[in-house]
Amino acid sequence: MERLAATVLFICLFSFLLNCGIIQIEASPGSVDSIPETQPYRTSYHFQPSHNWMNDPNGPMYYKGVYHLFYQHNPYAATFGDRIIWAHSVSYDLINWIHLNNAIEPSQPSDINSCWSGSVTILPGEKPVILYTGIDANKHQVQNLATPKNLSDPFLREWIKYPHNPIMRPPIGVELDNFRDPSTAWLGKDGKWRVVIGAQNGDEGKVILGQTEDFVNWTVDANPFYLSENTGVVECPDFYPVSIEGANGVDTSEENLNVRHVLKIGYLRIPHDFYFLGKYLSDQNSFMADTKFTGTSLDLRYDYGKFYASKTFFDYAKSRRILWGWVNESDTRQDDIDKGWAGLQSIPRQVWLDKSGKRLVQWPVEEVEELRKEQVSITGEKLVSKSLLEVSGITASQADVEVLFELPDIENAEGIDPTKVDPQILCSEEYAAQSGIIGPFGLSALASEDQTEQTAIFFRIYKAPNRYIGLMCSDQSRSSLRKDLDKTTYGSFFDVDPKTRTISLRSLIDHSIIESFGEGGRVCITSRVYPSLAIHENAHLYVFNNGSQSVTVSKLNAWSMGKADIGHQDTISCF
């Protein structure tokens, strides 16, 4: 019995030291980087739980040296369910994660039918609080409060619900079953905290403002903070400032002449995350957006592919604003059930205001570069018309690729009026294999050796009235031999500087996801693909040019990527 007790104590102590990073284990070569043959679409360095369904990121934050990610999770199945909970994981670097026990589960009348999305606000004195949407016993959507049981625990393993939940109910003019997803709160000059909440009334989408002095007693303004017509419900609103000077982030409560504000909203009918830049008038509790929602390609989006229900937070450790987004599946419901899981989180992205002041810029957090392994480089390679060059020497199914293209004389570019063309439709019509003047050129990722399967991330250059524009596309039409997949081709326009005559592209490739960042992160497109042939060692990576004009690979760097540790389970409860 004494030997057994000693063994148990040793295991618990060993697990504690391992989780805390005091000791580390080196894996045998190849063991940590491989994906089981039976799971060719499971990712290696994108966050996902070990099994079952995951959707919205919730309440990301940095607290006492630890990054936290809560997320919507169905612990019972690989499909969305009737009792969604808040799962919880922590990290020291945003890449490697420890899974904790669930943070919030249905237990009160105010959330008995699910604990839906919400946010974390860190109050003065380093006191985090969670606001989340509960589906109550009447299937109405209400807002609830939870606080940590032990503030000295940097992992914040246990949360206590406010006994008098809910703290907010739908106001007049808001439907009882469409009032959800409170944002991170910001502190106004009048000493009141404010949040925005998504809502609907008839066909109107609304962003509703809630105010409080103590986070318990709230008033909810029936007058919308933001209103859109013919859109249906607004989901997962986010509101935060961005600096007009440089890429550093600012605290969510920052309000001065050196910042502009961003309002991000999602629409259930058209599941994309749209954002608006504008001026926050705090004394009037209003937001003056630079542009109105049009429902066209003119609307700004974080990502023009698979990316929804995103959430940002201010990272005090590195003075940056970090953005996370849910990336859903593109295969069938039965596929999800068969493989036992569904849903990814994007690589965390730093987000800031472009120098033009007209859009945001996104870039993968620097920590992901720690996973880079074998590297290959190409410089000064001219790609004549119909060129195809393999990027060999790396693991093409699990890679990070950065390439800078040098353009020919762009005065010869084809003409186009971007106000009369939908770029996504244009991408599907002028696909990667079709020849233009300048482009298509770019990367062919997760490709089979004979190119039967490939996902092409490419550019074309056009001459528009008074300017030059680029078209960035992610062409999934040949991404898999399988027929039962969503193979939507994505695309967006962006301005091209005729003086630089260069276009950059970075793509993070991870088995069934490709996150691409064009022109330094001014255009982002995320795709989910499920090749049949181009898996594991049979995946290839190419750089190509199918335009009639030559382009030059000025510089290309590609790395094999290691496997992040996302399977670690917290075991400190041994003590």
Short-list 528, 518, 429, 523, CA closest to 476: 528
C-alpha triplet 399, 401, 404: angle, nearest 5° = 175
Q: Which residues make Cβ contacts (< 8 Å) with residue 355, sequence separation at least 6?
A: none
Convert 412-446 to b/e letters by CB count within 10 Å (16 or more is b).
ebeebebeebebbebbbebbbbeebbbbbbbbbbb
**CA nearest 85: which of 130, 39, 117?**
117
Residue partners of 96: CB distance under 8 A and separation at least 6: 564, 565, 566, 568
Candidates 53, 91, 89; CA nearest to 365 is: 91
E strand or H helix at 335, and its extent?
helix 333-339
From 29, 1, 50, 47, select the one nearest 344 (Cα to Cα). Answer: 47
Is 484 designated active site?
Answer: no
CB 430 within 8 A of CB 436: yes
Helix H or strand E segment including 240: strand 234-243
Q: Which string of DSSP letters, residue by residue, matches 315-349?
A: ETTTTEEEEEEEE---S-HHHHHHHTEE-EEPPPE
- Please tell me the distance from the alpha carbon of residue 30 to that of residue 109, in angstroms, as a whole number: 49
HEC assignment per residue over 389-412:
EECCCCCCCEEEEEEEEECCCHHH
Q: Which of 33, 56, 303, 354 is catalytic?
A: 56
In the sheet where 286-289 sits, what is the strand order?
A: 234-243, 259-267, 273-281, 286-289
Residue type, 205: G
User: How is residue 372 written in tokens?
Assistant: 């880079």
Residue 181: DSSP 8-state: -
C-beta atoms surrounding 259 within 10 Å? 19
Give the residue among 111, 210, 122, 220 at the shortest CA–CA distance from 165.
111
Rounded distance between C-alpha atoms, residue 140 and residue 180, angstroms? 10
What's the CA gap between 301 and 382, in Å, rounded? Answer: 33
Given 3-state DSSP classes, what are the helix, strand and coil percentages for the chain, each rounded to the nearest 5? 10, 45, 45
CB 143 within 8 A of CB 129: no
Please state the separation of Cα 321 from the chain's center in Å.
13
Tokens of 395: 């693991």
| Cα distance between residue 141 and residue 166, in whole Å | 10
3-state DSSP assignment of residue 220: strand
- Residue pair 312/302 in contact (Cβ under 8 Å)? The answer is no
Any idea which residues carry the catalytic annotation?
Answer: 56
